[in-house]
Amino acid sequence: MSGLCVFLLACVLPLSLASPDRQDPFLWLSALRGRGYVEGSLLADTTGGECPAECDCPPSFPIAMYCDGRGLTAMPNVPSRMKYLYLQHNEISAMPDSALANATNLVWVMMHHNALSTDKIGKRVFAKLQGLERLYLQHNNLTRVPPNLPRSLRDLRLNNNNINKITPAALNGMDNLTILYLHDNALTEMGMSLRGLNSLTLLDVSGNKLKKVPDSLPERLHQLYLESNAISAVPEGFLSKFSQLQYIRMAHNQLTDNGIPPNTFNVSGLVELDLSFNQLERIPLVSQTLEHLYLQANHIKEFTLGSFCGVVDVMNFSKLRTLRLEGNEITPGDVPSESALCLRLANSIDV
Ligand SMILES: *[C@@H]1O[C@H](CO)[C@@H](O)[C@H](O)[C@H]1NC(C)=O
Ligand SMILES: *[C@@H]1O[C@H](CO)[C@@H](O)[C@H](O)[C@H]1NC(C)=O
Ligand SMILES: *[C@@H]1O[C@H](CO)[C@@H](O)[C@H](O)[C@H]1NC(C)=O
Ligand SMILES: *[C@@H]1O[C@H](CO)[C@@H](O)[C@H](O)[C@H]1NC(C)=O
Ligand SMILES: *[C@@H]1O[C@H](CO)[C@@H](O)[C@H](O)[C@H]1NC(C)=O
């Protein structure tokens, strides 16, 4: 097979290269090598190792293979030395178990913006990649989290797929996972799938169909993005177990006053709280250390200074810098004059 390929390629070469007058009768072969041909698609060269013809493997960085944006419809062969694989922005629809069989050293696999569907991903295709840290599968056509993902993952991106169910085992044991993007999928619930993600700091599940805040949220979270779901209530004390949570985004949900227990957001450490585009009628009590509060496009009827400052005096004031209240049922005249003392750091209050 490979002999035939060499023969065919030789036939299409410019005559001067294939000319027998040349001193080196195999010069045409080295010219071929320089272009990345020979032996079907894999080339063993002196610059850094074999590399599929449809990809680039820079000699200066021989453990990376760049095949992004080339209209590929199938997986290229991935040589075993590769650690970084760039296959994003192609039209690859299948990853059979054999696809990465030799490439057990992979650390990054970039497969975002392809046409992968769940039934065309081999059950064991990722299983042997014991050192895999980043897996980007966003913007494909997945309905499930691929099975048997390596527990070594640190950054897993599955957003903009069609994932509608996540099993408890899918992410189980991913002790080092710090970033998980699941936004813009079709999840209605997350069950216990987040349990034990002890390193997770960023969870983005916005743009799904969640009816409640996921259970067993990891305690190390810094950023929790839940916007554009169908959440109408939050559990009592749901923020009290987090010690490092700084950013909460819950815009575009169905939150009402009744769905927010009294001291929910009176927790220190929060920097940003986005509750815009909900159905709140009152300003919830927030911690004095909060810096940015977004409440625009709710049904708030009253400006309650007590939501920001329990006692107003020289020493007791809110750290709020941004307060957005436009698109509610209050006017600038509803903001009491004592607000200047309590909200003394606010650059602007948008009413
Ligand atoms: C894996 O390596 C073997 C031996 O070098 C080779 O025959 C096979 O084609 C390779 N498979 C892939 C998918 O690269
Ligand atoms: C996505 O997958 C479904 C089946 O799961 C299939 O019917 C559909 O054609 C796929 N869409 C694309 C764009 O590949
Ligand atoms: C997590 O990272 C540590 C430190 O880099 C490493 O020793 C450990 O094996 C990793 N855990 C998994 C499950 O890969
Ligand atoms: C808000 O939390 C602070 C600090 O934990 C506490 O001192 C204060 O009483 C709380 N405010 C209300 C109204 O419960
Ligand atoms: C704020 O007011 C409360 C209640 O009067 C008081 O206990 C607290 O010490 C005050 N904080 C500061 C920083 O003055």
pLDDT reported for residue 6: 34
Q: How far apart are CA 42 and CA 136, in angstroms?
A: 25
- CA 264 to ligand 5 centroid distance, Å: 21
Based on the fold, state whether residues 70 and 35 are members of the same structural domain: no
Rg of the chain over CA atoms, in angstroms? 28
CA angle at 32 for the pair 27 and 34, rounded to the nearest 5°:
100
- Quote the tokens at residue 9: 């390629």
Based on the fold, state whether residues 36 and 119 are members of the same structural domain: no
Which one of the ligands is nearest to 174 CA?
Answer: 3
Based on the fold, state whether residues 25 and 92 are members of the same structural domain: no
Which one of the ligands is nearest to 96 CA?
Answer: 1
pTM: 0.84
Which one of the ligands is nearest to 308 CA?
Answer: 4
Question: Could you give phi then psi for residue 275, rounded to 5 degrees?
Answer: -120, 20
Q: How far apart are CA 118 and CA 177, in angstroms?
A: 22
- Report whether residue 302 contacts ligand 3, using a CB cutoff of 6 Å: no
Whether 260 is in a domain gets the answer no
Q: If you take atom 6 of ligand 1, which residue's CA is the nearest one? A: 102
Based on the fold, state whether residues 118 and 58 are members of the same structural domain: yes
Strands (E), 111-268: 134-136, 155-157, 179-181, 202-204, 223-225, 247-249
pLDDT reported for residue 234: 96
What are the DSSP calls for 83-94, one per residue? SEEE--SS----
For the chain, what percentages of helix, strand and coil (3-state, to nearest 5) are there?
15, 15, 75
Q: Quick one: average pLDDT of 254-272?
A: 95
- Residue 310: pLDDT band (50, 70, 90) is confident
Q: How far apart are CA 96 and CA 216, in angstroms?
A: 33
Q: How far apart are CA 212 and CA 189, in angstroms?
A: 8
**CB neighbours (10 Å) of residue 118?**
16
Average pLDDT, whole number, for the chain?
87
Strands (E), the chain: 64-66, 84-86, 108-110, 134-136, 155-157, 179-181, 202-204, 223-225, 247-249, 272-274, 292-294, 322-324, 348-350
Q: How far apart are CA 164 and CA 188, in angstroms?
A: 7
Q: How far apart are CA 66 and CA 85, in angstroms?
A: 6
Whether 198 is in a domain gets the answer no
- Report whether residue 143 contacts ligand 4, using a CB cutoff of 6 Å: no
- Report whether residue 329 contacts ligand 3, using a CB cutoff of 6 Å: no
Q: Whole domain around residue 84: which residue ranges?
A: 51-156
Q: If you take atom 1 of ligand 2, which residue's CA is the nearest one? A: 141
Note the pLDDT tens digit of each residue in 44-97. Answer: 444 567 999 999 999 999 999 999 999 999 999 999 999 999 999 999 999 999
Q: If you take atom 12 of ligand 3, which residue's CA is the nearest one? A: 152
- Report whether residue 263 contacts ligand 4, using a CB cutoff of 6 Å: yes
Whether 96 is in a domain gets the answer yes
pLDDT of 271 > 50? The answer is yes
Boundary-marking domain end, from 107, 128, 156: 156
- CA 288 to ligand 5 centroid distance, Å: 11
Which one of the ligands is nearest to 149 CA?
Answer: 3
Query: What's the Cα-to-Cα distance from 256 to each of 253, 287, 348, rounded to whole Å?
Result: 9, 19, 25
Q: If you take atom 10 of ligand 1, which residue's CA is the nearest one? A: 102
Boundary-marking domain end, from 137, 156, 175: 156
- CA 266 to ligand 4 centroid distance, Å: 6
- Report whether residue 115 contacts ligand 2, using a CB cutoff of 6 Å: yes
Whether 325 is in a domain gets the answer no
Residue whose pair of structure tokens reads 């006017």 in the numeric block: 331
Number of structural domains (the chain) is: 2
Whether 23 is in a domain gets the answer yes
Greatest distance between any 2 Cα atoms in the chain: 97
Based on the fold, state whether residues 3 and 28 are members of the same structural domain: yes
- Report whether residue 326 contacts ligand 3, using a CB cutoff of 6 Å: no
CB 284 within 8 A of CB 313: no
Note the pLDDT tens digit of each residue in 24-59. Answer: 333 333 333 334 333 444 444 445 679 999 999 999
- Report whether residue 117 contacts ligand 2, using a CB cutoff of 6 Å: yes
Q: How far apart are CA 290 and CA 318, in angstroms?
A: 7
**CB neighbours (10 Å) of residue 153?**
21
Based on the fold, state whether residues 6 and 70 are members of the same structural domain: no
Q: How far apart are CA 234 and CA 62, in angstroms?
A: 50
pLDDT reported for residue 52: 95
All residues at 6 or more sequence positions from 307 whose CB lies less than 8 Å from its CB, including other chains: 282, 283, 284, 285, 286
CB 344 within 8 A of CB 317: yes
Q: If you take atom 6 of ligand 4, which residue's CA is the nearest one? A: 266
pLDDT of 168 > 60? The answer is yes
Checking DSSP bridges between strand 202-204 and strand 155-157, what pairing results, if any? unpaired
Based on the fold, state whether residues 144 and 76 are members of the same structural domain: yes
- Report whether residue 223 contacts ligand 4, using a CB cutoff of 6 Å: no
- CA 152 to ligand 3 centroid distance, Å: 6
Based on the fold, state whether residues 22 and 58 are members of the same structural domain: no
Based on the fold, state whether residues 62 and 152 are members of the same structural domain: yes
Task: Specify the ligand 4 atom closest to the Cα of 263.
Answer: 14
Task: Specify the ligand 2 atom closest to the Cα of 141.
Answer: 1
- CA 74 to ligand 1 centroid distance, Å: 16
Boundary-marking domain end, from 156, 191, 223: 156
Cα 319 off chain centre by: 31
Task: Specify the ligand 5 atom closest to the Cα of 314.
Answer: 14
DSSP at 38: S
pLDDT reported for residue 48: 62
Is the Cα torsion angle 284, 288, 294, 300 positive or negative in sign? positive
- CA 58 to ligand 4 centroid distance, Å: 59
Which residues form ligand 1's pocket by a CB distance below 6 Å?
77, 98, 101-102
Based on the fold, state whether residues 78 and 8 are members of the same structural domain: no
Whether 120 is in a domain gets the answer yes
Collapse the DSSP code of 306 into the 3-class scheme (helix H, G, I; strand E, B; otherwise coil) and give the result: helix
Whether 239 is in a domain gets the answer no
Q: Which of 148-152, 238-242, 346-350 has the lowest mean pLDDT?
A: 346-350
Based on the fold, state whether residues 78 and 108 are members of the same structural domain: yes
Q: If you take atom 8 of ligand 5, which residue's CA is the nearest one? A: 316
Whether 173 is in a domain gets the answer no
Based on the fold, state whether residues 34 and 93 are members of the same structural domain: no
CATH, residue 91? 3.80.10.10
